[in-house]
Amino acid sequence: MRLILCMLILATVACGTLIDRATAQETAPTAPPAAAPEPAPAPDLSGSWTGSWSSYCNGHHGPMNASFCRIDANHYQVHFRGRFFKLVPFSYTAVLTVTGVDNGRVLLSGSHRLGPVFGTFSYNAWATDTQFVAGYCAEKDQGQFTMMRCCR
């Protein structure tokens, strides 16, 4: 019986001490939160880019260049030029929308209809000040563009 009584007393004292500590922590003045570091500004992608494209579906690939022109804070007009089957040139313009910024990378998306044969190509991309990587998807193809900034 004494053992049970001692245990109850110890438990009551321990609980009281824990409650007192919790109350003291709740009422103690706290330091103001540290200011969050300002996110790095999104790089301006305007300028010339060079690289290549490759298809995941059929293994086709080729050189690719692009000219990025900033329309406003959330849109770029991009003129893509490249070659298909090593000889057949292609050229088209698409508007890419800035969908976010993550650790200095601009996130972009867009789509462009390339006619009845090729259909609509959709893009999801990320870019830094020096690198552009876009996944593309169409009804009959999907792949990737990889480009580096060649000059400003």
Domain annotation covers residue 42: no
Assign 11 a pLDDT band (cuts: 50, 70, 90). Answer: very low
Q: How far apart are CA 113 and CA 86, in angstroms?
A: 22
pTM above 0.85, yes or no: no
Percent of the chain whose predicted confidence (pLDDT) is above 90: 55
Q: What is the pLDDT of residues 95-138, one digit of tens each?
A: 999 999 998 899 999 998 888 877 898 999 999 999 999 999 99
Domain annotation covers residue 80: yes
Domain annotation covers residue 36: no
Which CATH number covers residue 53?
2.40.128.20
- Structural tokens at position 97: 């929308």
Q: What is the pLDDT of residues 41-58, one digit of tens each?
A: 778 999 999 999 999 999
Domain count of the fold of the chain: 1
> What domain range is 78 assigned to?
47-151
SS3 for 73? coil
Average pLDDT of the residues in 59-64: 94
Nearest C-alpha neighbor of 146 from the set 56, 77, 41, 42:
56
